[in-house]
Amino acid sequence: MIAKLSHVSVFVLDQDSAYDFYVNKLGFKVHTDAPMGPGARWLTVCPPEQPELEIALMAISEGMMFTKESAHAMRDLVAKGTFGFGVFECNDLLATYEELKAKGVEFTKAPTQEFYGFEALFKDDSGNWFSLGQKEK
Amino acid sequence: MGEVYPKIYLYRRIVKAKLFIDEHFAEDIDLDNIAGEAFFSKFHFIRLFKKTYAKTPHQYLTAVRVEKSKLLLQTDMAVAEVCYAVGFDSVSSFTGLFKHMNGITPSAYQQEKHRLRKEIKTAPLKFIPNCFAESHGWAKKSNFQEVEV
């Protein structure tokens, strides 16, 4: 029986910039930051209240995972905002929205009461988008 | 009567106060002044802040200082230096608070983080699921220290 999700990948255009976005803007914690040889780095972060879930900020570069062509295509798709990676949850959406906006995070949808809940949408520094919802109070 | 959210300008003031604490946590912050700058009475400010962040401004400031201390403890700074660098003025009260919030003393935390850092540096593959390591071509190296960094 599968018990839980422990790792999830988010493909990013630049790991240094992604580090700044996820750690300094979103307030996530660094779980593992390991240099893996020239030009390679294993970088995972966790939401502040979910230390058991590692989000691997994966560089899109030519190598074992991507050919030159597929890396180029993937970078293009990420930058265009093709991929939505999931839903984050916060305790207070209006406050979190105002704070992240003040830190320069780009929202594509302001907090809106939908039939399924209260949500906003934002993009990371690469172009990946996430939904941001509020816990039921 | 259902929940009524404060107007957005109130949120902006509360968020501004929170960001002020985030930036100036190491200073001798006068929380009364923050309430004044946010154009609230102290009581109203504390009530709204706690409603938004589930902590009073003072509790939040303490939590920020302890979280920042955890980052500094991962460096080679001494515990006392870390204590003063994040705005506490007593090592014993810092140690007590830290242990209360994390279940471990600052020095034990520092030792554990240093041990972990060393292990990540010498044996990073212990921290990477094999599927990721293989997809990057990292799993082929039997001894990662052979790779030039």
B53 touches chain A (CB under 8 A): yes
Alpha helices in chain B (DSSP H): 8-24, 31-37, 42-53, 57-72, 79-85, 91-102, 106-122, 130-135
Helix (H/G/I), strand (E/B), else coil: B12: helix
* Contact between residue B86 and residue B98 where contact means Cβ atoms under 8 Å apart: no
Query: What pLDDT digit, counting tens, does each position of A48-81 carry?
Result: 999 999 999 999 988 878 899 999 999 999 999 9
pLDDT of residue B39: 67
* Contact between residue A42 and residue A64 where contact means Cβ atoms under 8 Å apart: no
Contacts of B144 in chain A (CB under 8 A): 36
Residue count of chain A, please give it. 137
* Contact between residue B68 and residue B75 where contact means Cβ atoms under 8 Å apart: no
pLDDT of residue B5: 52
d(CA B49, nearest CA chain A) in Å: 10
* Contact between residue B86 and residue B106 where contact means Cβ atoms under 8 Å apart: no
The beta-carbon neighbor of B124 closest among A36, A63, A92 is: A36
Contacts of A95 in chain B (CB under 8 A): 11, 14-15, 18, 52-53
Asked if the model's pLDDT at residue A135 lies above 90, the reply is no
Average pLDDT over residues A110-116: 92
Which pair of structure tokens corresponds to residue A131?
């939904």
d(CA A95, nearest CA chain B) in Å: 6
Contacts of A7 in chain B (CB under 8 A): 129, 132
Asked if the model's pLDDT at residue B140 lies above 70, the reply is no
Asked if the model's pLDDT at residue B143 lies above 70, the reply is no
pLDDT of residue B49: 92
The CATH superfamily assigned to A7-134 is 2,3-Dihydroxybiphenyl 1,2-Dioxygenase, domain 1 (3.10.180.10)
Quickly count helices (H) and strands (E) in chain B: 8, 0
Asked if the model's pLDDT at residue A120 lies above 60, the reply is yes
Average pLDDT over residues A31-47: 91
Query: What pLDDT digit, counting tens, does each position of B33-46 carry?
Result: 777 776 678 888 89
Which strands sit side by side in the sheet containing A29-35, from one edge to the other?
Answer: A7-12, A54-59, A41-46, A29-35
Asked if the model's pLDDT at residue B23 lies above 50, the reply is yes
* Contact between residue A102 and residue B8 where contact means Cβ atoms under 8 Å apart: no
d(CA B121, nearest CA chain A) in Å: 7
User: Number of residue pairs across A and B with CB atoms under 8 Å?
Assistant: 67
Q: What is the DSSP string of B104-138?
A: S-HHHHHHHHHHHHHHHHH-GGGGS-HHHHHHTT-
d(CA B120, nearest CA chain A) in Å: 6
Q: What percent of chain A has pLDDT over 90?
A: 88
Average pLDDT over residues B1-22: 76
What residues does A41 pair with on adjacent strands?
Answer: A35
Distances (CA, A) of A71 to A13, A135, A137: 10, 37, 43
Distance of CA B121 to the CA centre of its chain: 23
pLDDT of residue A129: 97
Q: What percent of chain A has pLDDT over 70?
A: 99
Question: Mean pLDDT, chain A, as a whole number?
Answer: 94
A 10 A CB-CB count for A62 gives: 12
pLDDT of residue B149: 46
* Residue in this structure with the two tokens 């009364």, named with its chain if needed: B32
pLDDT of residue B60: 95
Q: Report how far residue B79's alpha carbon sits from residue B102's, in angstroms, rounded to the nearest whole number.
A: 15
Average pLDDT over residues B84-88: 97
Put simply, the answer to whether B128 touches A64 (Cβ < 8 Å) is no
Q: How many CA atoms, within 13 angstroms, populate the side-chain half-sphere of residue B108? A: 8
Average pLDDT over residues A15-35: 96
Angle at B99 between CA B51 and CA A19, to 5 degrees: 65
Asked if the model's pLDDT at residue B141 lies above 90, the reply is no
* Contact between residue A103 and residue A25 where contact means Cβ atoms under 8 Å apart: yes
Task: Of A17, A24, A105, A43, give the one whose Cα is nearest residue B71.
Answer: A24
* Residue in this structure with the two tokens 């501004």, named with its chain if needed: B16
Domain limits of chain A? 7-134
B3 touches chain A (CB under 8 A): yes
Query: What pLDDT digit, counting tens, does each position of B43-83 carry?
Result: 888 999 999 999 999 999 999 999 999 999 999 999 999 99
Query: What pLDDT digit, counting tens, does each position of B89-127 carry?
Result: 999 999 999 999 999 999 999 999 999 999 988 888 988
